[in-house]
């Protein structure tokens, strides 16, 4: 059996370091030692398969209660590709976020902002044949967090993707254009390369909007691509 084709290493500067002193939560959790190098094997080049039949999509996060969720309705849509620009079809995209007031529907969130009984804040969609996904939600609010005096997270939506392999797993956050908190958010700013960082900011996109109903934001996601096929000995 030929060796599996490995996935490419990260392009320098495009991924955040684990040691990020401006984000206090990293201090006692990031490893002290560098990761141990290893070639990819079948364990890393294969991965789970999730199907819409088994894991029911939740593409409308505004209609999970008795009434519609409070807030500004938005469609977030985009395309998932690999680093070669190839579509990543039929992959699961998990989404979670705070409500319009900046409060998560979660016991650990003690921010003094109202819970919306009609908004839970979790979604799940699958990309189509061309790698495209779309979800209807509300624009989340900003919220303070314990990272020094009067720290606020930039407004964001969490994303989780799997792609074709264990090695392509990605958990990230989508931000909003024009948010003044972006310049102050150490998690966002933790990505060293400015272009890579800016790709975490969704584009305001009237083409995605639903007229007279919801604004649209485009958030394209790139998963790791395969390296060159190794030369067989």
Partner 1 sequence: MPAATASQTIGPYWHLLEDPSWADLTRFGAEGERIELTGIVTDGDGLAFPDACIEIWQSSPDMSDRFPGFGRSGTDRDGRFRFVTLKPAPVPGRGNARQAPHIAIWVLARGLMRGLATRAYFAGEKLNETDPLLASIEDKARRDTLIAHPEGQGVWRLDIRLQGEGETVFLDV
Q: Give the residue numbers annotated as catalytic, written as ranges.
A: 104, 143, 153, 156, 158
80 forms bridges with which residues in the sheet? Answer: 221
Pair of tokens at residue 103: 């409060």
- Least gap, CB of 29 to partner 1 (angstroms): 4
- Least gap, CB of 133 to partner 1 (angstroms): 14
CA pair distance 89, 84, nearest whole angstrom: 14
- Least gap, CB of 166 to partner 1 (angstroms): 5
**Is-contact 96 61, C-beta < 8 A?**
no
Residue 94 vs 205, nearer CB to partner 1: 94
**Is-contact 156 103, C-beta < 8 A?**
no
Angle, alpha carbons 97-99-100 (nearest 5°): 125
Residue 190 vs 209, nearer CB to partner 1: 190
CA pair distance 209, 224, nearest whole angstrom: 29
* Residue (of 156, 153, 139) closest to 71 by Cα position: 139
181: three-class secondary structure by DSSP? helix
Residue 7 vs 73, nearer CB to partner 1: 7
Residue 30 vs 210, nearer CB to partner 1: 30
Q: What is the bridge-based pairing of β-strands 170-175 and 156-161?
A: antiparallel
CA pair distance 178, 196, nearest whole angstrom: 17
- Least gap, CB of 211 to partner 1 (angstroms): 29
What's the DSSP call for residue 183?
A: G
- Least gap, CB of 44 to partner 1 (angstroms): 5
Residue 73 vs 124, nearer CB to partner 1: 124
**Is-contact 82 145, C-beta < 8 A?**
no
């Amino acid at each position: 059996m030929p060796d599996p084709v490995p996935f490419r290493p990260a392009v320098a500067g495009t991924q955040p370091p684990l040691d990020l002193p401006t984000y206090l939560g990293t201090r006692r959790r990031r490893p002290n030692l560098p990761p141990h190098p290893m070639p990819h094997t079948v364990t890393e080049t294969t991965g789970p398969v999730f199907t819409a039949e088994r894991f029911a999509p939740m593409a409308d996060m505004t209609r999970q209660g008795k009434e519609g969720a409070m807030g500004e309705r938005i469609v977030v849509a985009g395309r998932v590709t690999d680093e070669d620009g190839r579509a990543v079809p039929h992959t699961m995209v998990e989404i979670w976020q705070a409500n319009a007031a900046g409060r998560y529907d979660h016991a650990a969130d003690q921010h003094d902002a109202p819970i919306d009984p009609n908004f839970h804040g979790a979604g799940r969609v699958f990309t189509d044949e061309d790698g495209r996904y779309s979800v209807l939600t509300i624009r989340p609010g900003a919220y303070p967090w314990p990272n020094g005096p009067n720290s606020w997270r930039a407004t964001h939506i969490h994303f989780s993707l799997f792609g074709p392999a264990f090695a392509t797993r990605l958990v990230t956050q989508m931000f909003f254009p024009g948010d003044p908190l972006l310049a102050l958010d150490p998690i966002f700013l933790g990505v060293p390369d400015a272009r890579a960082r800016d790709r975490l900011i969704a584009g305001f996109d009237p083409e995605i909007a639903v007229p007279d109903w919801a604004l649209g934001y485009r958030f394209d996601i790139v998963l790791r691509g395969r390296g060159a096929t190794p030369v067989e000995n």
